[in-house]
């Protein structure tokens, strides 16, 4: 690994942030990489590879059918497109012009998140119009019922640590209400362990990322009803052409799914818990840093370490600590979704024991340096937000 980074002049990152796309998401399993390398020198019918991948998707999820595309974001757009066109090839070729077909797609307001791009844009790319349900922290069944009565092409349900979970309408109620109206439910759960729940509840399609917890290549995995998944696959005759995936990615996704079924999940959890326990010991007693265990927001079997920062005692705001660690040598990435609330998280899922030790030492050293120099607590959260709105080369 060090050789490839040096050869190409790249700066590596120790990833204590989790399965974040901006960092490469996850470490690919060696057996998955081997299968991708092996197929790269051969020609094969892509349809045959998709059929092979479908068998792995069905075996893993219990769905009737499956399909692989280039990413979970692409999968969302293609599933929405399928809800609009069905298997009609003329309609598929016409998108994003719906030609009078129903194109309203509902999403709970608290689930209209940004995962690097917005869910709303991912839906709109298929030519659909987004119908927000409820408010940010409250969605009731009557909000959904009113949208269904007015006409919908689909409902998108997002499972993510980014969503607002207070007042959320549960998936079982969503699928129940939609089934009564014959409206398909598309479940986006790119970074979730549950590979069977949405299909069992009656979702027309469920979407996972191949390169997050599955430890495969960048890919989107769609599982669901046979008729709906066929309509998703047919989108490659239209807008899906720009979202297609190559032979290496399809076989890599299939291999990752097979490996997931073989994985010793209990052993993986024990390894991660040992890393977190080591952090608790190594970071205990840091001035201005309160430690606590934080189970995963969406129920994945992961426990992270939460660092609650008291800036006056720590010498840095939480966002300053995260930024300085990322600028350090080695670069260390923490999960900083809630940095504005002075909370940071250490995620063990992508780390070796040695890397975990480096993370703890880097945190201690960065905070000690800031206290010695007294150069922290100077960049306000407004400064951070202002800087994010300035494009490179734009006005200062």
C-alpha span between 189 and 223 (Å, rounded): 11
Q: Is the pLDDT of residue 393 over 60?
A: no
* Residue 132 sits in the same domain as residue 225: yes
* Residue 280 sits in the same domain as residue 218: no
What pLDDT, on the 0 to 100 scale, is given for residue 395? Answer: 41
**Lowest-confidence range among 17-21, 176-180, 283-287, 367-371?**
17-21
What pLDDT, on the 0 to 100 scale, is given for residue 2? Answer: 60
Q: What is the mean pLDDT of residues 301-322?
A: 95
- Sequence-distant (≥ 6) Cβ neighbours of residue 230 within 8 angstroms: 65, 87
C-alpha span between 47 and 244 (Å, rounded): 12
Among 233, 262, 291, the domain-final residue is 262
Among 236, 262, 288, the domain-final residue is 262
* Residue 199 sits in the same domain as residue 246: yes
Q: What is the pLDDT of residues 261-311, one digit of tens each?
A: 999 999 999 999 999 999 999 999 999 999 999 998 888 889 999 999 999
Token pair 């989107």: residue = 220
Range of the domain at 70: 28-262
* Residue 254 sits in the same domain as residue 317: no
Q: Is the pLDDT of residue 216 over 60?
A: yes
Among 262, 290, 305, the domain-final residue is 262
What pLDDT, on the 0 to 100 scale, is given for residue 396? Answer: 37
* Residue 283 sits in the same domain as residue 240: no
Q: How many angstroms from the chain centroid is the CA of residue 11?
A: 23
Burial class of residue 184 in the structure, from the number of CB atoms within 10 Å of its CB (0-12 exposed, 13-18 middle, 19+ buried) = buried
Phi, psi for 320 (deg, rounded to 5)? -70, -40
Going through 151-301 in order, the beta strands assigned E by DSSP cover 154-158, 185-188, 205-209, 220-224, 289-295
Cis peptide before 96 (omega within 30 of 0): yes
Residue 162 pLDDT level (bands cut at 50, 70, 90): confident
More confident of the two residues 51 and 388: 51
Calculated CA dihedral for residues 141, 113, 302, 359, nearest 10 degrees: -160
Contact 133, 106 (CB under 8 A): yes
- Pairing type for strands 154-158 and 13-16 reads unpaired
Q: Is the pLDDT of residue 207 over 70?
A: yes
- Pairing type for strands 331-334 and 13-16 reads parallel
C-alpha span between 279 and 200 (Å, rounded): 38
The answer to whether position 16 is within a domain reads: no
* Residue 216 sits in the same domain as residue 128: yes
Contacts by 318-322, CB closer than 8 A, 24 or more apart: 318/342, 318/343, 318/344, 319/379, 319/381, 319/384, 320/370, 320/376, 320/377, 320/378, 320/379, 321/363, 321/366, 321/367, 321/370
C-alpha span between 359 and 283 (Å, rounded): 10
The answer to whether position 20 is within a domain reads: no
- Domain with residue 193: its CATH number is 3.40.640.10
What pLDDT, on the 0 to 100 scale, is given for residue 386? Answer: 86
* Residue 243 sits in the same domain as residue 277: no
The CA–CA distances, whole Å, from 177 to 80, 95, 170, 363 equal: 18, 28, 11, 49
Closest CA to 213 of 299, 121, 332, 291: 299
Structural domain count, the chain: 2
Contact 311, 367 (CB under 8 A): no
Q: What is the mean pLDDT of residues 92-100?
A: 95
**Lowest-confidence range among 18-22, 119-123, 153-157, 231-235?**
18-22
What pLDDT, on the 0 to 100 scale, is given for residue 6? Answer: 85
Residue 392 pLDDT level (bands cut at 50, 70, 90): low
Q: What is the mean pLDDT of residues 184-206?
A: 95
Q: What is the mean pLDDT of residues 173-191?
A: 96
The answer to whether position 124 is within a domain reads: yes
Residue 116 pLDDT level (bands cut at 50, 70, 90): confident
Evaluate the CA torsion angle 26, 27, 31, 37 in order and state its sign.
positive
What pLDDT, on the 0 to 100 scale, is given for residue 20? Answer: 86
* Residue 206 sits in the same domain as residue 287: no
* Residue 85 sits in the same domain as residue 212: yes
Q: Is the pLDDT of residue 243 over 60?
A: yes
Q: Look at the pTM and tell me if it is higher than 0.85.
A: yes
Contact 303, 293 (CB under 8 A): yes
Token pair listed for 75: 């999968």
What pLDDT, on the 0 to 100 scale, is given for residue 394? Answer: 44
Q: What is the pLDDT of residues 346-366, one digit of tens each?
A: 999 999 999 999 999 999 999
Residues above pLDDT 90, as percent of the chain: 83
Q: What is the pLDDT of residues 329-350, one digit of tens each?
A: 899 999 998 999 999 999 999 9
Going through 197-257 in order, the beta strands assigned E by DSSP cover 205-209, 220-224
Length of the chain: 396
C-alpha span between 42 and 262 (Å, rounded): 27
What spatial distance separates the first Cα and last Cα of the chain, rounded to whole Å? 38
């Amino acid at each position: 690994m060090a050789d490839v980074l040096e050869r190409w002049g790249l700066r590596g990152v120790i990833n204590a942030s989790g399965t974040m796309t901006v960092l490469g998401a996850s470490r690919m399993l060696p057996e998955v990489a081997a299968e991708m390398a092996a197929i790269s020198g051969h020609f094969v019918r892509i349809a045959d590879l998709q059929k092979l991948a479908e068998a792995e998707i069905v075996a893993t999820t219990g769905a009737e059918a499956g399909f692989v595309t280039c990413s979970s974001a692409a999968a969302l757009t293609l599933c929405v497109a399928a809800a609009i066109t069905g298997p009609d090839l003329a309609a598929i070729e016409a998108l994003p012009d719906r030609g009078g077909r129903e194109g309203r797609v509902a999403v709970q307001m608290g689930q209209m998140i940004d995962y690097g791009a917005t869910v709303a844009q991912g839906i709109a790319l298929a030519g659909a119009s987004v119908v927000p349900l409820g408010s940010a922290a409250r969605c009731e069944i009557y909000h959904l019922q009113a949208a269904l009565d007015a006409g919908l092409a689909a409902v998108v349900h997002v499972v993510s640590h980014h969503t607002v979970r207070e007042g959320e309408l549960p998936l079982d109620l969503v699928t129940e209400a939609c089934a009564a109206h014959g409206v398909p439910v598309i479940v986006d759960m790119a970074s979730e362990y549950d590979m069977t729940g949405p299909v069992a509840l009656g979702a027309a399609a469920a979407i996972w990322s191949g390169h997050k917890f599955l430890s495969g290549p960048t890919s989107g995995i769609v599982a669901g009803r046979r008729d709906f998944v066929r309509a998703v696959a047919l989108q490659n005759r239209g807008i899906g052409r720009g979202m297609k995936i190559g032979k290496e990615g399809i076989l890599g996704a299939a291999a990752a799914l097979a490996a997931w079924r073989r994985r010793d999940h209990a052993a993986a959890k024990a390894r991660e818990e040992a890393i977190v326990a080591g952090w608790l010991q190594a970071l205990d007693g840091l001035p201005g840093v309160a430690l606590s265990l934080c189970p995963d927001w969406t129920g994945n079997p992961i426990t992270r370490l939460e660092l609650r920062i008291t800036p006056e005692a720590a010498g840095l705001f939480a966002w300053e600590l995260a930024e300085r660690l990322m600028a350090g040598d080695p670069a260390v990435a923490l999960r900083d979704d809630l940095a504005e609330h002075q909370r940071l998280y250490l995620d063990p899922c992508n780390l070796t024991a040695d890397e975990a030790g480096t993370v703890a030492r880097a945190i201690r050293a960065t905070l000690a340096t800031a206290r010695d120099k007294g150069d922290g607590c100077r960049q306000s959260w407004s400064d951070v937000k202002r800087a994010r709105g300035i494009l490179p080369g734009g006005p200062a």
